Structure 1
């Protein structure tokens, strides 16, 4: 089944395909979110200036997962790093290697861009994700994450 899954880079034209996955992911992580105006903002971020880099896992015409990332600079490391913002696979497709395929695509992109490392977070309660990331060789760093709404 994994062989039929295609991982491809997302473009601005994929905003309508990505939006339902993003909404489903937010619900999975128990986050409040609004999809109002979001397709336009996703398209803008994926556009020519490429603030956002994303990959979609497709099974035929059906999107079953995605990953997204941004490039950033660490003053502590004095180096560029990749921040993986999201890695999400729809429930029915978890455990089929789709997350690994998406992660491989993000990892390859980080290497192509000369990133010193990759960073990401997952909710404390998501022990399956934590186990998955440890199997990839990632080490856990305990930090607090803060969010301040501006709009």
Structure 2
């Protein structure tokens, strides 16, 4: 799978996550959750991510931006099914670029890489959500050609 890189020449690389990246991915997830005002991530998040990302039957995938061994950003996704379309799509669960690295093109490069991965897996589209108050993200996604669909997200604890 070819991985997109930013259009500007900046050091770093987008690559598939590896098990050794899990502690850094967990830190990025914690920063992402804090940015969105969500509750804290589980203390054992890194170990909990290992089976769905790297187990014998992966349920999710993750790309990271690696600059000299430091992870600056990540995108994670899974395959889902749309009954309305009778087709699979990719659900982009997270796309996050750490604050100091925003504006360098990594967000768009990650989005393009997820889109490429979705196409390679035969998905009909990529779907995701972002908080409506995050106007920078909404503007970014519109510039990338995405269409917004108003919905309310629910969660039913079990």
Distance in 2 (alpha carbons) for counterparts of 1:34 and 1:22:
7
* Structure 1 counterpart of 2:149, from 141, 147, 151: 141
* Structure 2 counterpart of 1:30, from 28, 37, 60: 37
Distance change (3 Å), C-alpha of 1:21 and 1:82: same
Specify the SS of the correspondent of 2:146: coil
Distance change (3 Å), C-alpha of 1:69 and 1:8: same
Task: Give the TM-score of the pair, scaled to structure 2.
Answer: 0.91
1:11, distance to aligned residue in structure 2 (A): 3.0
* Structure 1 counterpart of 2:140, from 132, 135, 151: 132
1:2, distance to aligned residue in structure 2 (A): 4.5
Which blocks of at least 5 consecutive residues in structure 1 are unaligned? none
1:35, distance to aligned residue in structure 2 (A): 2.8
* Structure 2 counterpart of 1:116, from 103, 121, 124: 124
Partner of 2:61: 53
1:83 matched to 2:91: yes
Partner of 2:100: 92
Q: Are the counterparts in 1 of residues 65 and 72 from structure 2 also a CA contact under 8 Å?
A: yes
Distance in 1 (alpha carbons) for counterparts of 2:9 and 2:29:
22
Which blocks of at least 5 consecutive residues in structure 2 are unaligned? 1-7
Specify the SS of the correspondent of 2:94: strand
Once superposed, what is the RMSD of the aligned Cα atoms? 1.2
Specify the SS of the correspondent of 1:20: helix
Task: Give the TM-score of the pair, scaled to structure 1.
Answer: 0.95
Q: How does 1:11-26 map to 2 (within 5 A)?
A: 11-26=18-33
Distance in 2 (alpha carbons) for counterparts of 1:105 and 1:3:
17
Q: Are the counterparts in 2 of residues 56 and 63 from structure 1 also a CA contact under 8 Å?
A: yes
